[in-house]
Amino acid sequence: MKLAMAVIVVLTWSAYSQQKDSPASPSGQHCEMEKRGDDAMGFSHEKTTHHFLLFNDGGAIDVQANDPTDKTRRDEIRMHLSHIAELFAEGNLNVPMFIHGTTPPGVPVMEKLHDQIQYKFQETEAGGRVRIRTEDKQAIKAVHEFLKFQITEHQTGDSTNIRDDGSAK
């Protein structure tokens, strides 16, 4: 399953890369990013809410179904985020590159230092979360750059302030 998802992402990324020559407005680019995101994630961004959180030791990617009784969407979110946690832990950050049509800031360092970063999937009531932790200062900076880019691109309105998540290390 993991290999099949990686192959789909790579093939779709290749097809997208060959088509992206036409200019687009910023709003058109955002719509295209959301469409690629829906394709890569397997669920609609319109029926979910994304949050990107910055913590002093990394951060988190949090996705929830807008309707807490929508078990189909909840399960799709959980499947996607559990795959993301596995792929990122292996140093494979191709999904965000596909979704955004570019290499997000921080990704090259996150790929290089993937063995210094922990990605833990956690189920939540209406979806899931990937908690990202590291003690490496360069990796923390890269994770923060990556998450700030996500906040801007997905227009979540999340704070870009770094905070203590309150958990014991």
List, as one string, the DSSP characters of 78-93.
HHHHHHHHHHHHTT--
Q: What is the pLDDT of residues 86-117, one digit of tens each?
A: 999 999 998 766 665 888 999 999 999 999 99
Q: What is the pLDDT of residues 27-60, one digit of tens each?
A: 555 566 555 555 455 555 678 999 999 999 999 9
Mean pLDDT of the chain: 80
* CA dihedral of residues 19, 46, 132, 126 (deg, nearest 10): -150
